[in-house]
A and B are shown apart, each in its own frame.
Chain A
Amino acid sequence: MFWNKEMETLSLEKLRELQLERLKKVVKYAYERVPFYRKKFDEAGIKPEDIKSLEDIRYIPFTSKADLREVYPFGMFAVPLSEIVEIHSSSGTTGKPVVIGYTKNDLEVWKEVMARSLTMIGVTREDIIQIAYGYGLFTGGLGFHYGALTIGATIVPVSAGNTRRQIELMRDFGTTVLCCTPSYALYLAEYAKDEMGIDPSGLRLRMGSFGAEMWTEEMRREIEKRFGIKAYNVYGLTEIIGPGVAHECQEQNGLHIWEDHFYPEIIDPETGEPLPEGERGELVLTTLTKEGVPMIRFRTRDITSFLPGECACGRTGRRIERIRGRSDDMIKVRGVMLFPYQIEQAILEIQGVEPHYQIILTRPHHLDEIEVQVEMSKETFSDEVKEIEALRKKLEKRIEETVGIRVKVTLVEPKTIPRFEGKAKRVIDKREIL
């Protein structure tokens, strides 16, 4: 199903033409209206007129999260506040928050891309959509809200948290679409079964759109199995627009970027150079149509790659694979780069172990050590030490094969690893760097 078939299936030739036209316009717009961009461009010795092809984008300086924090709160705004109708902001847990303002048109763009995203997976006005992403300054809740509202689906704007209530609403209202973080979806399934005696697969739920944190194929299968639904991956970030930058189609093979609004590049995070198609690197995004805060070459810190070939669904927007890591989350242990998702994948490959884990980094004798705590599951518990030891060793071996360094696996009692209603904190770094 298409929300805007013409734009979603625009021929590549026409799409590139449109992108170039919009890129030229937004670069000029940003240069003229935002002192931050003017300064950056001038320092780099580049003028908006120098952009003659899409490839020329590589001469434009990057915008980083740090840049956005420096101009807190409204330094990136390209229009007077009177034109801004809504403000969103990142949480600011790692520094000053990033503030993004939306004009009326920006909200229209957001509605459009979210309506496309939800329609693409089969959401219609007949659906009852439970939005369990946080509402507020975080873009998750309202982004989905706008999309669902545009489609005309019945919205249950419950926001995040209050797990028992979430399940009661799903059961009593007959919710058909669930939107939340994937770790919270798993928690909901577990809570329904263990605490309320409700079989999650017996609910009317038929699909879900999950994102706002890193997850894996195994987690997808787990969510699909437990609820008996189709689980789709959504991608977005406040700096660009919020959820709706990209979304999976029913093929569940990569996330289509809405390229008429967001221009994607994949670069080498170390050198900043564009990478050949198919190679994994950092996603860089440029907003082509936003007015409030135009974002030029924003470094997302998200690691992904473009998937080659055409998609069976007929959409022409390039597909990115699920986010493979964040350059920020990258853990450097004994000089080796690794991402929590790699460890997660390894654990989940070993059958029967509940996908609840935590990574603890220590440096006891000037040497980094990784401990991975994995919750023991009912299914894998044996009353023989040698079998539990064998399971532990199997986990250690699989993780070592995946990340390339030795780790210590500790099996812990069920439900001792903290559950999070928002983003999961998987890594605890106790290393003291002297």
Chain B
Amino acid sequence: MKIKQISVFLENKKGRLYEALKTLAQAGVNIRALSIADTSDFGILRMIVNKPEEAKKALEEGGFTTKITHVIAVGVRDEPGGLAEILKILYENDINVEYVYAFVEKSGEEALVVLRTNNLEKTIDILQAKGVKLLDSKAVENL
């Protein structure tokens, strides 16, 4: 149930985010979810895209440093406390969240979030046992 996330190293310089996104646009890659972790000197652009391998190839040809990591996509009830409920499960099971960010689209009535934890396998097992909906890569592609 893991999905591929593409990360890009960006210097904190004018125009770098634009360059990265332009490269993806030219490669016909559609972005499903996006977040930026930033420090004063650099940022890490993380994205869920419809074609991760193509995205990686295009970015690397454009001179960017990229990496594909695995994350999970979780369906969350779109109402107050929806995400908190899931985080509570992780907390009770001693799982640390590395980062979390939201998808642009919804899946039916549910909001979608990207989640990376210190133990993805365990996270998947526990969330599935609790009946939380996880999306596979096919589902993400078809959003």
Whether A and B are associated in the same complex: the answer reads yes
State the CA gap A385–B38 with chains docked (Å). 8
Residues on A with C-beta less than 8 A from B48 are none
B67 contacts which of A382, A412, A413, A414 (Cβ < 8 Å)? A382
Given contacts A384-B98, A411-B42, 16 further A-B contacts (CB under 8 A): A376-B9, A376-B65, A378-B65, A381-B65, A381-B66, A383-B5, A383-B7, A383-B44, A383-B46, A383-B67, A384-B37, A385-B37, A410-B41, A410-B42, A412-B11, A414-B65
CB-based contact A381/B10 at 8 Å:
no
Complex: chain A residue closest to B40, CB-CB: A410
A413 contacts which of B7, B10, B44 (Cβ < 8 Å)? B10
For chain A, which range describes its interface: under 10, 10 to 19, 20 to 34, or 35 or more residues? 10 to 19
CB-based contact A385/B67 at 8 Å:
no
CB-based contact B39/A413 at 8 Å:
no
18 A-B residue pairs with CB within 8 Å: A376-B42, A378-B67, A381-B9, A381-B65, A381-B66, A383-B44, A385-B39, A388-B42, A388-B44, A410-B42, A411-B9, A412-B11, A413-B9, A413-B10, A413-B16, A413-B63, A414-B63, A415-B63
- The answer, yes or no, to whether B101 is at the interface (CB within 8 Å) is no
State the CA gap A381–B69 with chains docked (Å). 11
- The answer, yes or no, to whether A11 is at the interface (CB within 8 Å) is no
Residues on B with C-beta less than 8 A from A383 are 5, 7, 44, 46, 67, 69
Q: Is the interface of A mostly helix, strand, loop or mixed?
A: loop
Complex: chain A residue closest to B39, CB-CB: A385
State the CA gap A411–B63 with chains docked (Å). 15
Residues on A with C-beta less than 8 A from B16 are 413
Complex: chain A residue closest to B46, CB-CB: A383
Instruction: Write the residues of chain A forming the contact surface with B, with a CB cutoff of 8 angstroms.
Output: 376-378, 381-385, 388-389, 410-416
Complex: chain B residue closest to A389, CB-CB: B39
CB-based contact A377/B65 at 8 Å:
yes
Mark B50-77 against chain A: 1 for CB-CB distance below 8 A, else 0: 0000000000000111110100000000
- Output the least CB separation between A98 and chain B (Å): 40
Q: Is the interface of B mostly helix, strand, loop or mixed?
A: strand
Interface residues of B in 20-45 (CB under 8 A from A): 37, 39, 41-42, 44
- Output the least CB separation between A429 and chain B (Å): 21
Complex: chain A residue closest to B43, CB-CB: A385
Instruction: Write the residues of chain B forming the contact surface with A, with a CB cutoff of 8 angstroms.
Output: 5, 7, 9-11, 16, 37, 39, 41-42, 44, 46, 63-67, 69, 98-99
State the CA gap A381–B8 with chains docked (Å). 9
**A411-B41 contact given A377-B65, A381-B9, CB 8 Å threshold:** yes
Residues on A with C-beta less than 8 A from B37 are 384-385
Residues on B with C-beta less than 8 A from A415 are 63
State the CA gap A413–B11 with chains docked (Å). 6
State the CA gap A412–B41 with chains docked (Å). 9
**A381-B11 contact given A388-B44, A389-B39, A410-B41, CB 8 Å threshold:** no
**6 closest A-B pairs by CB:** A383-B7, A381-B65, A385-B37, A413-B11, A383-B69, A376-B9
- Output the least CB separation between B38 and chain A (Å): 8
Residues on A with C-beta less than 8 A from B66 are 381
CB-based contact A416/B11 at 8 Å:
yes
State the CA gap A93–B7 with chains docked (Å). 43
Residues on B with C-beta less than 8 A from A381 are 7, 9, 65-67
- Output the least CB separation between A362 and chain B (Å): 15
CB-based contact A385/B44 at 8 Å:
yes
Residues on B with C-beta less than 8 A from A385 are 37, 39, 44
Residues on B with C-beta less than 8 A from A412 are 11
- Output the least CB separation between A236 and chain B (Å): 37
State the CA gap A252–B67 with chains docked (Å). 38
State the CA gap A389–B9 with chains docked (Å). 13
State the CA gap A415–B61 with chains docked (Å). 12
Complex: chain A residue closest to B19, CB-CB: A413
- Output the least CB separation between B22 and chain A (Å): 15
State the CA gap A411–B65 with chains docked (Å). 12
Complex: chain B residue closest to A415, CB-CB: B63
State the CA gap A381–B67 with chains docked (Å). 7
State the CA gap A381–B59 with chains docked (Å). 14
Residues on B with C-beta less than 8 A from A378 are 65, 67
Residues on A with C-beta less than 8 A from B67 are 378, 381-383
- Output the least CB separation between B96 and chain A (Å): 12
Residues on B with C-beta less than 8 A from A382 are 67
Complex: chain B residue closest to A413, CB-CB: B11
State the CA gap A383–B36 with chains docked (Å). 10
Residues on A with C-beta less than 8 A from B11 are 412-413, 416
State the CA gap A416–B7 with chains docked (Å). 19
State the CA gap A416–B64 with chains docked (Å). 10
- Output the least CB separation between B128 and chain A (Å): 24
State the CA gap A381–B16 with chains docked (Å). 17
Residues on B with C-beta less than 8 A from A414 are 63-65
Residues on B with C-beta less than 8 A from A388 are 9, 42, 44
Chain A CB within 10 A, most for which of B9, B16, B64, B99: B9
State the CA gap A415–B11 with chains docked (Å). 12
Complex: chain A residue closest to B7, CB-CB: A383
- Output the least CB separation between A164 and chain B (Å): 17
Chain B CB within 10 A, most for which of A382, A383, A416: A383
